[in-house]
Amino acid sequence: MASALHNLSGYDPAKVPDGSGWTIGVVVSEWNDEVTGALLAGVCDTLQKHGVEKGSIIVKTVPGSFELVYASAAMIEDTCVDAVIALGCVIRGDTPHFDYICQGVTQGLTELNARADVPVIYGLLTCDNMQQAQDRCGGACGNKGVECAVAALKMIAFRKEL
Protein backbone atom coordinates (compact mmCIF):
# COMPACT_ATOMS: atom_id res chain seq x y z
CA MET A 1 0.00 0.00 0.00
CA ALA A 2 1.30 3.45 -0.85
CA SER A 3 2.57 5.59 2.01
CA ALA A 4 0.08 8.28 1.06
CA LEU A 5 -2.71 5.83 1.94
CA HIS A 6 -1.12 4.27 5.02
CA ASN A 7 0.69 6.11 7.82
CA LEU A 8 4.05 4.42 8.34
CA SER A 9 3.87 5.07 12.09
CA GLY A 10 0.38 3.63 12.47
CA TYR A 11 0.09 0.16 13.97
CA ASP A 12 -1.77 -1.76 16.65
CA PRO A 13 0.58 -2.02 19.67
CA ALA A 14 -1.39 -5.02 20.92
CA LYS A 15 -0.20 -6.99 17.87
CA VAL A 16 3.50 -6.29 18.47
CA PRO A 17 5.52 -8.92 20.36
CA ASP A 18 7.44 -8.01 23.49
CA GLY A 19 11.09 -7.53 22.58
CA SER A 20 12.49 -8.10 26.06
CA GLY A 21 15.70 -10.08 25.86
CA TRP A 22 16.13 -9.58 22.12
CA THR A 23 19.06 -7.86 20.44
CA ILE A 24 18.48 -5.82 17.30
CA GLY A 25 21.18 -4.65 14.91
CA VAL A 26 20.60 -1.43 13.01
CA VAL A 27 22.78 -0.41 10.08
CA VAL A 28 22.35 3.24 9.09
CA SER A 29 23.61 5.11 6.06
CA GLU A 30 25.30 8.44 6.76
CA TRP A 31 24.20 9.74 3.34
CA ASN A 32 21.13 11.98 3.75
CA ASP A 33 21.74 11.80 7.50
CA GLU A 34 18.97 14.24 8.38
CA VAL A 35 16.57 11.63 7.01
CA THR A 36 18.34 8.48 8.20
CA GLY A 37 18.83 10.01 11.66
CA ALA A 38 15.08 10.51 11.95
CA LEU A 39 14.50 6.93 10.75
CA LEU A 40 16.93 5.69 13.39
CA ALA A 41 15.14 7.66 16.11
CA GLY A 42 11.86 6.05 15.04
CA VAL A 43 13.44 2.59 15.20
CA CYS A 44 15.03 3.07 18.61
CA ASP A 45 11.99 4.70 20.21
CA THR A 46 9.67 1.96 18.94
CA LEU A 47 11.96 -0.92 19.92
CA GLN A 48 12.35 0.48 23.45
CA LYS A 49 8.60 1.05 23.67
CA HIS A 50 8.18 -2.68 23.05
CA GLY A 51 10.70 -3.93 25.59
CA VAL A 52 14.06 -3.93 23.81
CA GLU A 53 16.65 -2.47 26.15
CA LYS A 54 18.65 0.50 24.86
CA GLY A 55 21.86 -1.50 25.32
CA SER A 56 20.43 -4.29 23.16
CA ILE A 57 20.15 -2.05 20.11
CA ILE A 58 23.45 -2.21 18.22
CA VAL A 59 23.77 0.73 15.83
CA LYS A 60 26.49 0.91 13.19
CA THR A 61 26.85 3.52 10.46
CA VAL A 62 28.06 3.12 6.90
CA PRO A 63 28.93 5.81 4.35
CA GLY A 64 26.04 5.24 1.95
CA SER A 65 23.10 3.03 1.16
CA PHE A 66 25.07 0.68 -1.10
CA GLU A 67 27.13 -0.40 1.93
CA LEU A 68 24.01 -1.53 3.82
CA VAL A 69 24.18 -5.00 2.28
CA TYR A 70 27.76 -5.72 3.35
CA ALA A 71 27.22 -4.22 6.79
CA SER A 72 24.01 -6.19 7.37
CA ALA A 73 25.76 -9.43 6.39
CA ALA A 74 28.73 -8.63 8.63
CA MET A 75 26.44 -7.81 11.55
CA ILE A 76 24.69 -11.17 11.17
CA GLU A 77 27.99 -13.02 10.92
CA ASP A 78 29.90 -11.22 13.68
CA THR A 79 27.28 -10.45 16.33
CA CYS A 80 24.44 -12.23 18.09
CA VAL A 81 21.49 -10.25 16.80
CA ASP A 82 17.93 -11.47 16.49
CA ALA A 83 17.26 -9.19 13.48
CA VAL A 84 18.96 -6.50 11.42
CA ILE A 85 17.28 -3.32 10.25
CA ALA A 86 18.93 -1.59 7.27
CA LEU A 87 18.17 2.15 7.03
CA GLY A 88 19.03 4.38 4.12
CA CYS A 89 17.69 7.08 1.84
CA VAL A 90 18.35 7.47 -1.86
CA ILE A 91 16.95 10.52 -3.64
CA ARG A 92 16.62 10.55 -7.43
CA GLY A 93 19.08 12.81 -9.23
CA ASP A 94 19.91 13.57 -12.83
CA THR A 95 21.79 10.34 -13.58
CA PRO A 96 20.93 6.62 -13.49
CA HIS A 97 23.00 6.27 -10.28
CA PHE A 98 19.72 6.28 -8.30
CA ASP A 99 18.48 3.21 -10.18
CA TYR A 100 21.73 1.29 -9.73
CA ILE A 101 21.92 1.97 -6.00
CA CYS A 102 18.25 1.19 -5.35
CA GLN A 103 18.35 -2.01 -7.39
CA GLY A 104 21.64 -3.17 -5.91
CA VAL A 105 20.61 -2.60 -2.31
CA THR A 106 17.18 -4.11 -2.84
CA GLN A 107 18.59 -7.22 -4.52
CA GLY A 108 21.38 -7.59 -1.96
CA LEU A 109 19.09 -7.29 1.06
CA THR A 110 16.58 -9.63 -0.57
CA GLU A 111 19.25 -12.29 -1.11
CA LEU A 112 20.60 -11.83 2.41
CA ASN A 113 17.11 -12.06 3.87
CA ALA A 114 16.41 -15.27 1.95
CA ARG A 115 19.58 -17.07 3.06
CA ALA A 116 20.27 -15.73 6.55
CA ASP A 117 18.93 -17.26 9.75
CA VAL A 118 18.18 -13.73 10.96
CA PRO A 119 15.45 -11.49 9.52
CA VAL A 120 16.74 -8.48 7.60
CA ILE A 121 14.31 -5.57 7.51
CA TYR A 122 14.29 -3.28 4.47
CA GLY A 123 14.32 0.35 5.55
CA LEU A 124 15.58 2.00 2.38
CA LEU A 125 13.65 5.07 1.31
CA THR A 126 13.73 5.47 -2.48
CA CYS A 127 12.37 8.93 -3.14
CA ASP A 128 12.04 11.26 -6.08
CA ASN A 129 12.83 14.32 -3.95
CA MET A 130 13.74 15.47 -0.46
CA GLN A 131 10.13 16.31 0.39
CA GLN A 132 9.09 12.69 -0.13
CA ALA A 133 11.94 11.59 2.15
CA GLN A 134 10.95 14.08 4.84
CA ASP A 135 7.35 12.95 4.61
CA ARG A 136 8.49 9.36 5.32
CA CYS A 137 10.89 10.01 8.19
CA GLY A 138 8.41 11.60 10.55
CA GLY A 139 6.42 13.92 8.32
CA ALA A 140 3.04 13.63 6.62
CA CYS A 141 3.38 9.89 5.91
CA GLY A 142 4.74 8.91 9.34
CA ASN A 143 8.13 7.35 10.04
CA LYS A 144 9.36 4.31 8.11
CA GLY A 145 11.68 3.60 11.05
CA VAL A 146 8.66 2.86 13.25
CA GLU A 147 7.33 0.45 10.63
CA CYS A 148 10.74 -1.25 10.39
CA ALA A 149 11.00 -1.72 14.15
CA VAL A 150 7.54 -3.29 14.30
CA ALA A 151 8.40 -5.55 11.35
CA ALA A 152 11.62 -6.64 13.07
CA LEU A 153 9.82 -7.59 16.27
CA LYS A 154 7.15 -9.50 14.37
CA MET A 155 9.71 -11.35 12.26
CA ILE A 156 11.79 -12.31 15.30
CA ALA A 157 8.66 -13.74 16.90
CA PHE A 158 7.84 -15.57 13.66
CA ARG A 159 11.34 -17.09 13.53
CA LYS A 160 11.25 -18.13 17.19
CA GLU A 161 7.84 -19.79 16.72
CA LEU A 162 9.15 -22.11 13.98
Report CA-CA distances (Å) from 65 to 12, 14, 89, 158. Answer: 30, 32, 7, 27
Instruction: Judge whether 137 and 145 are in contact, CB under 8 Å.
Output: yes
Distances in Å between the alpha carbon of 18 and those of 15, 37, 52, 65, 97? Answer: 10, 24, 8, 29, 40
Q: Which of 4, 6, 53, 97 is catalytic?
A: 97
Q: Does 97 participate in catalysis according to the annotation?
A: yes
Question: Which positions are catalytic?
Answer: 97
